[in-house]
Structure 1
Amino acid sequence: MSEIQSDKNQAAPKRSPLKWAIGAVLLIGVAAVLYVIASASFKPAGVVDLKEFKKASLEKLEVPVEPRGQPATVFTDGAGKELTLASFKGQVVVMNLWATWCAPCKKEMPTLAKLQASYATQPLKVLPISVDRDSDLNLVQAEMTANAPLQVYRDPGYKLSFELDPRAQGYPTTVIYDKQGRERARLSGDADWSSPEAHGLVEALLAER
C-alpha cells in the first residue's frame, strides 16, 4: 500500500510558463526562416523587381507578378523582312506600338529616340512598330527619319496588338522585354522614355544575367 501511495506522490515535474514561451518563440522563428527560404526558391533567379521605377513619368507602369511570354507574331522591318520578337533575343527590347494618327504616340517618339541613342553600344533595342496602313508608309518613314536612330517596323494588321496577353488597350502601348524574351513591364499611354526612371528600368534589365 505504501508503495502505491509513494508512486502517486511522485508527480511529473511541471514546465514553467517561461519555458513554454521560449519554446513557442523558437518554433515561430524556425517557421519564419523556412518560409523565407521557400519563398526565395520560387522566385526566378536573377529577376529584379521593377516596381521601384513606377513613378513620375512612368507612374502608369504595369509590372506583372510573374514575367510573361512573348507572342510569336510576325511583323516586318522597313525593307519588308519578316521578323518576330524572338529575333531580338539577347537584347532588352522596348517595343512601342504606335500610329502616325496618334498624337500621344508622336509626342513621346523623340524620347524613345533619345533612349535608343543613349544605349547605342549596349544590347538595347527600341522597337517602334507602326500599325499604320500601307498607304501611309511614307508618313511612317518620315516620322522615323525625324527620330533617328529609330527604324521602321510595321504591323498594319494590328496582329501584335491583339496577340499580346492581355491585349493592347490603345496607342501608344509600350511593352518591355528582358534579354530572355520575357515581358517584364508595360505602359499604356505616352511617357518620357528619356527620364531618369526610364533609364533606371533599362539599366536594371541590362544588368541581369
Structure 2
Amino acid sequence: MSEFQSDREQAARKPGPLKWVIAAAVIIGVAAVLYVIGAASFKPAGVTDLNEFKKASLAKLDVPAAPRGQPTTVFTDGAGKSLTLADFKGQVVVMNLWATWCAPCKKEMPTLAKLQASYATQPLKVLPISVDRDSDLNLVQAQMTANSPLQVYRDPGYKLSFALDPRAEGYPTTVIYDKQGRERARLAGDADWSSPEAHGLVEALLAEH
C-alpha cells in the first residue's frame, strides 16, 4: 500500500467538520431537554406562572420564583376581633395595606371594591387592612362605607407591614395569597384591580386545586 493511499484512508476515518457540527447540535439539544425537565421538577406542583399578568395596570407586579409563606401576625376586624391570614385559608386573598392619609390608596380602593363584588360568589377575599391610628377609625369606616362591599380591617401598629418578607416598601402594598395561604404575587403602589389582567390573575388562582 502506498504512503498516499494510507494518508487518504486515515483522512477518510477522521470525522469531517459537518460531523462535528451535527454532534454538537445533538449535545446542545439533549442539554436543553434536560434543563427543561430539571426546571419543571423544581416548580411546585399545581403552581401557575402568574408572570403573564405582569402588564398594563399590573406592570409593577412582583411574582416570586417560588411561593412565599404568610405572616402569622394578628390584626383586627371592624368589631375588634383578632384575626390572622390563616383564618382565610381556602380562599384567594388580596391583602391591601393602606391608610386614609395615602392618596394612591384611596384612588385604587374603588377598584378593589369592584374586584370583590365581581367574585362575590367565589372564594375570593379582598382584605383592605388599614394602618391608621385608633383616633382615625371614623375615617377608615367612612372609606369602607363608600367602597362597599369592602369591610374594615386594621393594623395600627404596622405589624403586618414589617412581618412581610420582604417588608412592605410603602403604601399601598397589595399581596396576593393562593388558597393554600402562599404569597404568589405582590404589587407596591396603586393599580387598577378591576382591570382584565387583575381578573385574569385572580381567576388563575381560583382555578388551582
The amino acid across from 1:145 in the alignment is T
Mean Cα displacement is larger for which, 30-39 or 135-144? 30-39
Query: What residue number does 2:75 align with?
Result: 75
Query: What residue number does 2:53 align with?
Result: 53
Query: What residue number does 2:13 align with?
Result: 14
Query: What residue number does 2:115 align with?
Result: 115
The amino acid across from 2:197 in the alignment is E
Q: Establish whether residue 190 from structure 1 lines up as the match of residue 190 from structure 2.
A: yes
CA drift of 1:160 comes to 0.4
Classify 1:28/1:60 alpha carbon distance in 2 versus 1 (closer, same or farther; 3 Å): closer
CA drift of 1:15 comes to 4.6
Report the 3-state secondary structure (helix = DSSP H, G, I; strand = E; otherwise coil) of the residue aligned with 1:57: helix
- What is the number of residues matched between the two proteins? 201
Query: What residue number does 2:3 align with?
Result: none
CA drift of 1:22 comes to 3.9
The amino acid across from 1:162 in the alignment is F
The amino acid across from 1:81 in the alignment is K
RMSD: 1.9
- TM-score (norm: length of structure 2): 0.89
- TM-score (norm: length of structure 1): 0.89
Query: What residue number does 1:207 align with?
Result: 207
Gaps of at least 5 residues in structure 1 are 1-10
Mean Cα displacement is larger for which, 70-79 or 20-29? 20-29
Query: What residue number does 1:132 align with?
Result: 132
Return the alpha-carbon distance in structure 2 between the equivalents of residues 104 and 39 of structure 1: 38
Gaps of at least 5 residues in structure 2 are 1-8
The amino acid across from 1:164 in the alignment is L
Return the alpha-carbon distance in structure 1 between the equivalents of residues 145 and 174 of structure 2: 20
Report the 3-state secondary structure (helix = DSSP H, G, I; strand = E; otherwise coil) of the residue aligned with 2:13: coil
Return the alpha-carbon distance in structure 2 between the equivalents of residues 50 and 195 of structure 1: 15
Return the alpha-carbon distance in structure 1 between the equivalents of residues 62 and 21 of structure 2: 45
Report the 3-state secondary structure (helix = DSSP H, G, I; strand = E; otherwise coil) of the residue aligned with 1:157: coil
CA drift of 1:111 comes to 0.6
Return the alpha-carbon distance in structure 1 between the equivalents of residues 184 and 127 of structure 2: 15
1:80-95 matches, cutoff 5 A? 80-95=80-95
Q: Percent identity?
A: 85
Return the alpha-carbon distance in structure 1 between the equivalents of residues 93 and 111 of structure 2: 15
**CA displacement, residues 151-207 of structure 1 (integer Å, 9 cap, x when unaligned):** 110101110011111111111111111111111111111111111111111111111
Question: Which of the pair has more CA radius of gyration?
Answer: 1
The amino acid across from 1:123 in the alignment is P
Return the alpha-carbon distance in structure 2 between the equivalents of residues 143 and 22 of structure 1: 67
Return the alpha-carbon distance in structure 1 between the equivalents of residues 51 and 192 of structure 2: 17
